[in-house]
Chains A and B, each alone.
Chain A
Amino acid sequence: MSLPVSPNSGPFEPDHQNPDRRLFYLKSLYELTAELSPITDSERLLNTFLLMVMGVIGSASGTILVVDRNNHTVLQSVRGAGPVGNWSIDQAEKSLYVGFTAAETRQLTPMSVTFIRDPAAVFPNAEIGMDVHTALLFMVDDALLGLIHLGAPLDTGALTTESRELLSGMSAGFMVFLKNVRAFETVQALNADLNRINDDLRQTIADLTEARNQIRLLEFARIRLKQLVQKEVSRVGRFRMIDTVLILIITTTLSILFNFSNPNGMPLLPETVFRTPAPKIDIQTLHQRLTRKDVILVDARPQELFDQGHLSDAINVPAPLFDIIYAMKLGPILEPDSAIVVYGRTISRRYDEEVAWSLLQRHEKVLVLTDGWHTKGDRPAS
């Protein structure tokens, strides 16, 4: 790599007579390389380089300004100068332009450095924050350029040729390190970007996996639903015992509920189930008492059954017509001591108990025939 160094000009003088100083310069170059080589951070690189340059030259103040045109960023390091604030990209570009116009070498190539003529005039104190004694313009590549401003050395007012060469050499070395650090930072940024992309990719894969599981679940649900629908389709129109059972349950519920609100409703079980049965009389005893004629026989069945056949001398008193018949037929013939024997029951109705219960409300001697003709196929015996 060639390092174009501007020819001697201005206050700079050659220094061939001082080998110790040359040794010091070489040692400085060595130390610069040793100091900068482990640095991987641009800002720290700038700070370290500026400190070393200021130390070698003997300046109490200095600044470095680096413009990254690709990223539109400005890096700066300031030592011993007044407050100047952060440089904007436009300010930095303007300063670079001013530097170019005053550069000793008009055509800068990549990795080259040049001194700027009359730096104090080009970069006034108000702009840089210090009195600029020496200024260098360097170009790492087309997109990375920078300026180095140094205050006056403490020992002497002019830089020797060796000092200028040393400054150029240190700047050249700095540019190499700066280029490497920027490349490293670019790699790091790319790595970070890659990691972010990887994270995004992992998240995408996780989302896809979850979506696949959901799709699998939905597919399972769809198949199950389809099976259920097919099963229901096959069932519709067919006879099923469960349907008849359901209908019966519904009708039973409806009928019982309606019966409670129906003014013509009736008890679910016959009242005779819950009543105390009337005293009983068997057929032999009844025959004896009939011969003594101290008993009145009542047939409690409906008239059509009574008409089919009944015991001799029995009076038909159906329960629904009890009040009328009692008043018209039964009441007038009853003696206070008369016993009433009621008979007539079927498998479906205990007519005798119903009429006997009504009679017991008015008479004490009411008996119900326990067995006899009605046990033999409900046929009258006489």
Chain B
Amino acid sequence: MNGIGMLKKVISHPVTGLVLRVYIGGIFIAASMYKINYPGEFAETIASYQLVPYWGVNLMALIMPWTELLCGLMLILGFRTRASAVLIAAMLVVFCVAITVTLLRGIPIGCGCFTTVEDPLSWTTLVRDLIWLAMSVQVIVFPSALQLEDRLLMSLKEVDG
């Protein structure tokens, strides 16, 4: 087996899916905690990107952390994994676009990904989010091990007889 074949096998392996699932889920749960408790500060972060209409900033600051939390939990549990991964990937796409635009516009703000007090945005931040996006895509495309839904599926197959 050549190197590319081995790489494909590793990427598509269910254990890889499990590891990435738990990793991404954990990151998003951790990221959501501060933002859920202090939505006002997160709203200022969103406003500093200057992309969201002013009437939607507060709503976004309220809903997005909860979406991160729920999707993170569902990823770790393995329940509705693909739907959760799709939402997380969508959020990461939005983050990447926002970071790119902000970097190009030269607005000197922090990322605001975990807390409000962070280093200013940089291309490294963008690369990090792109890596997370790639991990989310792996979870969407390939099956992963130890999913709660697998247990449900087995029960349904037993009922199906």
Contacts and interface: CB of A to CB of B under 8 A. Distances in A.
A243 B52 contact: no
Contacts, number: 124
A361 interface: no
Given A262-B37, A269-B58, A255 B63 contact: yes
Contact of A244 (B54, B66, B87, B149): B87
A379 to B, nearest CB: 10
A350 B80 CA distance: 40
Given A243-B83, A247-B70, A273-B55, A266 B156 contact: no
Contacts of B67: 247-248, 251
Interface string B91-125: 00000000000000011110000000000000000
Contacts of B66: 251-252, 254-255, 258
Interface in B55-84: 55, 57-59, 61-63, 65-67, 69-71, 74, 80-84
20 contacts: A237-B82, A237-B147, A244-B83, A247-B67, A248-B63, A251-B69, A255-B65, A258-B66, A264-B37, A268-B58, A269-B55, A270-B57, A270-B58, A272-B54, A308-B106, A308-B108, A347-B53, A348-B50, A348-B54, A349-B57
Interface of A: 226, 229-230, 232-233, 236-240, 243-244, 247-248, 250-252, 254-256, 258-259, 262, 264-270, 272-273, 302, 304-305, 307-308, 320, 346-350, 378
A251 B90 CA distance: 15
Contact of A233 (B52, B61, B71, B156): B156
B49 to A, nearest CB: 7
Band of interface residues on B: 35 or more
B54 A262 contact: no
Interface in B113-148: 140, 143, 147
Given A229-B159, A233-B157, 5 more contacts: A230-B160, A247-B83, A255-B66, A347-B52, A348-B54
